[in-house]
Amino acid sequence: MPIATRRISANGFDFAVDEAGEGDRLALCLHGFPESRFSWRFQLPLLAEMGYRAWAPDLRGYGETEPKPKDVASYRIERLMEDVAALIDASGAREVTLIGHDWGAGLAWTFAANRVRPLKRLVIMNVPHPGVFAEHLRRSFRQMARSWYMLFFQIPGLPEWLNTRDGAKLIRRAFHDMAVDKSRFPDAVLDRYAADAQRPGAMTGMVNWYRAAAQSPGKLAGPWPMIETPTLVIWGEEDAALGLELLDGTDAYVRDLTIRRLPKVSHWVQQEAPEAVNAILAEWLSAAR
């Protein structure tokens, strides 16, 4: 199935959205940091073949989506959930499957828990439920050490400068160095992410997701209602930033939970192991119909 890029006006933003497929069953794919809609290039054709209209937007502050607000408050989780709701409304879909990775998964968890819009299915990749994550941060020095960058991102200006200097060298390294199978991140892929990060205002917008979460957690702080939406969690076991133990306790927040772990796969699960991820998606979504 071919992938086309279109513009969607929603919630005051002009979203760049990669689209495959058609119809009124929407699969909305939310990327993470420091990614973009490009991170779903392997999943959109599969979802289209399964009968979904698959959308992967550049989220607020990222890529070709405009404008890119400079203020931290614009990136509070409540504002980000408004974007997801507006995209769903703009699609006109009768049924929505929400899929998220990294920060996009954190947003998807929060959206589903708060029941902002009805969801048919929820798919999460390599990010724990925010309630589980908060519990582990409170009692695990190891996870606190792994999450050092979240504290670093609170410094004004410095993260933007370091991440974009030398052709966004640190952005390139984030993918290449963390990956187990580095062949999945050739120069052409790294060039795409580096270029997106260097767009005017992008790096500030990207980092502001972390600043807003720390400064004004809002709905990210709970309380956490039980998620009734059937939920699939796919997790690359070699995640350098998020320990495998962060899966423990997820069932306290999700009524209908399926977990699939992929050994020898890093945090960048859907890009590094697209064949395995797509096989899991196809099996679970087909059984869920």
Contact call for residues 47 and 21 (beta carbons, < 8 A): yes
Q: What is the CA radius of gyration of the chain?
A: 17
Cα separation of 224 and 252, whole Å?
A: 10
Nearest CA to 209 out of 91, 64, 105 is that of: 105
* Preceding peptide of 69 cis, ω within 30°: no
The yes-or-no answer on residue 62 being catalytic is no
Q: Give the whole-angstrom CA distance, residue 115 versus residue 283.
A: 25
For the question of residue 101 being annotated catalytic, the response is no
Measured CA distances, 237 to 125, 156, 186 (Å): 11, 33, 22
Could you tell me if 250 and 259 are in contact, meaning their C-beta atoms sit under 8 angstroms apart? Answer: yes
Exactly one of 102, 136, 193, 253 is catalytic; name it.
Answer: 102
Q: CB-side exposure of 245: number of CA atoms within 13 Å?
A: 10
Catalytic residue among 62, 210, 239, 253: 210
Residue 172 CB neighbour total at 10 angstroms: 20
Q: Which helix (H) or strand (E) holds 161?
A: helix 158-178
> Catalytic annotation on 196?
no
The residue type of 161 is: W
Q: Which of 31, 129, 136, 267 is catalytic?
A: 267
Euclidean distance between CA atoms 5 and 156, whole angstroms: 33
In whole angstroms, give the CA distance from residue 142 to residue 210.
Answer: 20
Angstrom CA distances, 204 to 94, 114, 172, 224, stand at 35, 27, 17, 29
Q: Which residues are catalytic?
A: 102, 210, 267
